[in-house]
A and B are shown apart, each in its own frame.
Chain A
Amino acid sequence: MTTQSISYVSTAEIPSSPPPGNAKGFPAWARQNLFATPLNSLTTILIGLFLAWALPPILNFLIFDAVWFGDSREACIVEGAGACWAFVNAKFGQFIYGRYPLDERWRVDLVFILFVIGLVPIAIPKVPYKGWNALYLLLVFPILAFILLCGGFFGLEAVETSLWGGLLVTLVVAVTGIAASLPLGVLLALGRQSKMPVIKMASVIFIEFWRGVPLITVLFMSSVMLPLFLPPGTNFDKLLRALVGVALFSSAYMAEVIRGGLQAIPKGQYEGAAAMGLGYWPSMYLIILPQALKIVIPGIVNSFIALFKDTSLVLIIGIFDLLGIVQLNFTDPNWASPVTPATGYIFTAAVFWVFCFGMSRYSLFVERRLDTGHKR
């Protein structure tokens, strides 16, 4: 700076002053969000008190007093013991695989990995080759999973489904139900709106029948009554029966969700499609369904989540899903203790929550992404 400027105009921007102390940081945030109005303050205080009252015992039970290691109930029956995580630890293999043979469990792991390999890229919009990916997930993966899980091919030891259990069964039932119910539901919803009386009638009867009976009844009939009607000796797989029951049941619900979407599409869209010279299937595929499905994403995911949780009902026909196998293990005298059931249920709830919450968040993401400004 050789020449001292005489200009009184500042050459540099004056750095902005920090906001006053009471307008930034935690106090400001708290005042804005927690203590904005008297009612707001009161609620904050009440909730704070509630947390202060409830949280320490919960944390004590779950973490600080919890028993993490041990070989039997002796570890968990000590005075003032919290959650018996040693129980979950000892039974973890069963909770995931059921009674799947120990030496063959790598096959289940492989199926889980293959599933994730297919699912993750298809769930991320940026990843290319969606078509191939879908082909893998809908055609290649089910075949691979079937071969790996059931065995009996390529020198793999056959593992009958009565040995499956735990998270494996929960996922098999849920994924099959979800994968089968969406296409079936679309077809049924279209069928119900069809102008052809036979198809319409068939769809209506199917939907109303399956919606009219409780899932428990369906499962119970499939496992208890069906064998009596079949010729003795024909004993087709219990899990398969449950899968078919769950898939048909959930497709009826799915059909009604999708019908809601179809009815929300203005008549002009149908007429527009017809004016373009499109036939029934192209107009459905190109114009109506993309809009209808987008509208009902929350409903569809709602059905998926309900279905995921309903899988626990297979317990009544002696198939042990995650909840079933956890409950079954409460009866092991080596682990019976006052805290064992609570621990088992907390573990199960946590696993279910992770899956359901994941689905719910992903559906929100998809909804935002597909939002083309037609918010109603």
Chain B
Amino acid sequence: MKNTFIPVLAGAVVAMTAVSAANAATLDDVKKKGFVQCGVSTGLAGFSNPDDKGEWTGLDVDYCRAVASAIFDDPKAVKFSPLSAKERFTALQSGEVDILSRNTTWTMSRDTQMGLAFVGVTYYDGQGFMIPKSLGVSSAKEIDGASVCVQTGTTTELNLSDYFKANGMTFNPVVLEKLEEVNAAYDAGRCDVYTTDASGLYAIRLTMSKPDDHMVLPEIISKEPLGPAVRQGDDQWFALNKWVYFALLNAEEMGITQANVEEMKTSENPNIKRLLGVDGDFGASVGLSADWAVKVIKGVGNYGEIFARNVGTETPLGIERGQNALWTEGGLQYAPPVR
């Protein structure tokens, strides 16, 4: 993630081959083969992980299922390729996968040199803090002088010292090499605070001997916008993916759920009518049918439902919506209208 050599090398190779792979009409290929090939992680709790039956579940996984629903009206028309962090970009470039939905941070270099086109931000992640509840602290502003467990050699360490400096606080770093060591040190009480990306904190919390004794503070001190990406150069496929994501957000905003989507078709609200294809044919412009959004919502539900199902407070992970709430509820999730 923080190594710069491999991305540069991969970028160079990508640049050589990008021309050949880029011009293909991905949607036609996908329709021809009958499924979406989706690159996911090799296991990240709540985002892409196998369930008891071995089926992939998670937020990243459900995005791919949403795209499959839009095209085939079948959330199961997806094949998943688990990709390591190093493989992921070349897999997308070489055409091995059609979508890369693998908790990938949207950065400028990836968006430009690496030949990726980011579809949107399905999860606003960022560095956060976890503390034992017994500390009686409710804000990161109150942890002046705390000892902080952090993994070495990552930007996490840098962000941490920046944050404390910027807020005129001091801290006592407990720097460890391996993730497991950091977990163990925190669990054993060698430090008061654990810091890493917030989604990671929730997953780590589950492995503590008493998960309920720990809480993640609301402050997020860095930007790690995670989202799906497609290949550059295929605008139709890019637009399709973007609008599937927007449809998920718009559906939540308008209160359309997996359960009530059929009733909603009879709604008088012109926004809902346009989204669900009752009025106008917006699907055609991205190569889909008029009721594409109905298929998406029927297949996987709206964004809020996906979030709640995979990482929300009802799941063992118990992640609050926070920045990932809709803009109407104080979050950052905002979608342009269907018009």
Contact = CB atoms under 8 A, between A and B. Distances in A.
B237 to A, nearest CB: 15
B317 A333 contact: yes
B53 A331 contact: no
- Which among A232, A327, A331, A334 has the greatest number of chain B C-beta atoms within 10 A? A331
B236 interface: no
Interface residues of B, number: 43
Contacts of A328: 42-43, 49-50, 82
A331 B203 contact: yes
Interface stretch (A91-99, A281-289, A349-357): A91-99
A73 B49 CA distance: 15
A30 B96 CA distance: 65
- Which among A162, A231, A336, A338 has the greatest number of chain B C-beta atoms within 10 A? A336
A240 interface: no
Interface stretch (B121-129, B135-143, B207-215): B207-215
A301 B24 CA distance: 49
Nearest to B39: A318
Contact of B43 (A227, A317, A327): A327
A329 B53 CA distance: 11
Contacts, number: 107
Contact of B45 (A223, A227, A336): A336
Interface string A305-347: 0000000000111101000100111111110111011000000
Interface residues of A, number: 40
Given A332-B45, A332-B49, A232 B207 contact: no
A332 B24 contact: no
A333 B49 contact: yes
Contacts of B21: 232
B90 interface: yes
A94 B317 CA distance: 23
Contact of B52 (A77, A232, A235, A334): A334
Nearest to B208: A338
A324 B42 CA distance: 9
Given A318-B81, A318-B82, A333-B315, A102 B53 contact: yes
Interface in B28-67: 42-46, 49-55
A52 interface: no
A332 B207 contact: no
Contacts of B94: 227-228, 232, 235
A114 B269 CA distance: 64
A90 interface: yes
B170 interface: no
B133 interface: no
B93 interface: yes
A102 B52 CA distance: 12
Contact of B211 (A77, A90, A316, A340): A77
Contact of B203 (A233, A336, A337): A336
A220 interface: yes
A71 to B, nearest CB: 9
Contacts of B43: 327-331
A225 interface: yes
A333 B316 contact: yes
Given A332-B49, A334-B316, A338-B187, A227 B96 contact: yes
A175 B110 CA distance: 41
Nearest to A336: B206
Contacts of B315: 333
Contacts of B83: 318
A317 B52 contact: no
Given A223-B87, A232-B95, A318-B84, A331 B45 contact: yes
Contact of A224 (B17, B52, B87, B207): B87
Interface string B241-254: 00000000000000
A315 B42 CA distance: 9
B13 interface: yes
B114 to A, nearest CB: 14
B79 A99 contact: no
A338 B44 CA distance: 16
A228 B45 contact: no
Interface in B70-95: 79-84, 86-87, 90-91, 93-95
A91 B54 CA distance: 8
B179 to A, nearest CB: 11
B285 interface: no
A90 B50 contact: no
B17 A331 contact: no
Nearest to A325: B50
B97 to A, nearest CB: 10
Contacts of A331: 43-45, 49, 203
A318 B87 contact: yes
A318 B42 contact: yes
Nearest to A160: B79
A169 B214 CA distance: 39
Interface string A126-158: 000000000000000000000000000000000
B54 A333 contact: no
Contacts of A77: 209, 211
A338 B204 CA distance: 9
Given A94-B50, A318-B83, A333 B42 contact: no
Given A228-B93, A232-B21, A98 B54 contact: yes
22 contacts: A94-B50, A99-B50, A99-B54, A162-B79, A224-B87, A224-B90, A224-B91, A225-B13, A227-B96, A232-B21, A235-B96, A320-B82, A328-B49, A330-B43, A331-B45, A332-B51, A333-B45, A333-B203, A333-B206, A334-B51, A334-B316, A338-B187
Interface of B: 13-14, 16-17, 20-21, 24, 42-46, 49-55, 79-84, 86-87, 90-91, 93-96, 187, 203, 206-209, 211, 315-317
Given A98-B54, A316-B84, A334-B316, 19 more contacts: A94-B54, A162-B79, A228-B17, A228-B90, A232-B17, A233-B95, A235-B96, A315-B42, A317-B84, A318-B42, A318-B81, A324-B42, A328-B49, A333-B45, A333-B49, A333-B203, A333-B316, A334-B52, A337-B206
The 5 closest A-B pairs by CB, nearest first: A336-B206, A331-B43, A227-B94, A331-B49, A328-B43
